[in-house]
Amino acid sequence: MKALIIGYGSIGKRHTDLLNKLGAKVAVVSRRNLSIPAHYSNVEAAVKEHEPGYVIIASRTSEHRDDIHALAAAGFTGKLLIEKPVYQAGCEQPPHVFSKIKVAFNLRFHPALIHFRQIISERKIYAVSAYVGSYLPNWRPDTDYRTGYSAITSQGGGVLRDLSHELDYLIWLFGPWVNLTASGGHFSNLEIDSDDVFTVLFETKQVPSISLQMNYLDTKARRKVIALTDKGSLSLDLISGSVEAENMNKTFVIGRDDTYIAQHKAMLFDDDSIICDIKAGLEVMGMIDAAAHASKYKKWIQP
């Protein structure tokens, strides 16, 4: 399989390394001066000369829309995986002739999350509390956090977009939101112009109360979910890989790249059972836009 990575930041490099390990012949599109064999400065040339069957868009969120259109214009008709979130703003279905288009919410492939989902499918859920937080300056130790896209709203930064894995898996677990409000902004002394704290409160048809707290500030990385159910409480810790319930405590040990590898294999072998499709990815974008609007105008929002 010939693969093409558009963008060569930290996530683009990770996709490149992993696909090389999986035996793919990988090329990269980047405006940077890279010392790698198959390097192109634009999408059109890469599609024409490399002839990829699988493309991953790993550029800045603000560039995703243009990259999708460039691929279509170049005549690409293979499989496309877009890094989350799909777009910086807007929720329309992108025009394309691709054989498959998916969104890279790789946390869906975490075995602890999959196990948690199996358990809650057999329970009535009363309320859910989710939390994700980690300290932005620690994210990429070799990069000044103030210059990365996470720090810059116009490039798609901010916790609401950056940590949208939570929005995706909460919808995946509990269904689409039907009523939502939010509060967030830039509250800390981090030298960024994007939001560093966001809280989203929403309802689904299945669950009357779901709260999510997201931040760039927690010096100890945490990623947890607690569900209150008709059979007692259930907790998920995505850092430790543990799922706890009454008389049950199960821990899943996985490697740093395992969810990414599982996601690539799902794309390459056409297993659509877990991977996020474009419709769900755009639903997450709709939720992001609604949360931003609700926070700005201090109101509840319905789809």
How far apart are the C-alpha atoms of 263 and 109, rounded to whole Å?
Answer: 7
Q: Work out whether strand 210-215 and strand 79-83 pair parallel, antiparallel, or are unpaired.
A: unpaired
244: nearest Cα among 225, 230, 258: 225
**H helix intervals, 74-181:** 111-120, 159-162, 165-174
Q: Work out whether strand 242-245 and strand 248-251 pair parallel, antiparallel, or are unpaired.
A: antiparallel
Tokens standing for residue 22: 């999986």
Domain boundaries, the chain: 2-104, 110-253+276-297
Residues 182-215 have pLDDT tens digits of: 999 999 999 999 999 999 999 999 999 999 999 9
Q: Which residues lie across from 212 on neighbouring strands?
A: 130, 200
The backbone torsions φ and ψ at residue 120, rounded to the nearest 5 degrees and listed phi first, read -70, -20
Q: Work out whether strand 100-104 and strand 79-83 pair parallel, antiparallel, or are unpaired.
A: parallel
How far apart are the C-alpha atoms of 3 and 79, rounded to whole Å?
Answer: 9
Residues 3-59 have pLDDT tens digits of: 999 999 999 999 999 999 999 999 999 988 888 889 999 999 999 999 999 999 999
Cβ neighbours of residue 99 closer than 8 Å, sequence gap 6 or more:
77, 78, 79
Share of the chain above pLDDT 90, in %: 88
Has residue 259 got a pLDDT over 90? yes
Residues 108-121 have pLDDT tens digits of: 999 999 999 999 99
Q: What is the mean pLDDT of residues 251-274?
A: 98
**Contact at 8 Å (CB) between 54 and 75?**
no
**Contact at 8 Å (CB) between 280 and 168?**
yes
CATH code of domain 2-104:
3.40.50.720
Res 94: pLDDT: 65
Q: What is the pTM of this model?
A: 0.94
Cis before 111 (ω within 30): no
Residues 119-162 have pLDDT tens digits of: 999 999 999 999 999 999 999 888 899 998 899 998 889 999 99
Amino acid making up residue 212: L
The backbone torsions φ and ψ at residue 13, rounded to the nearest 5 degrees and listed phi first, read -65, -40
**Topology of domain 110-253+276-297, CATH:** Dihydrodipicolinate Reductase; domain 2 (3.30.360)
Ordered strands of the 232-237 beta sheet: 177-185, 197-204, 210-215, 125-133, 222-229, 232-237, 242-245, 248-251
Tokens standing for residue 67: 């990259």
How far apart are the C-alpha atoms of 223 and 214, rounded to whole Å?
Answer: 9
Amino acid making up residue 246: E
How far apart are the C-alpha atoms of 291 and 214, rounded to whole Å?
Answer: 12
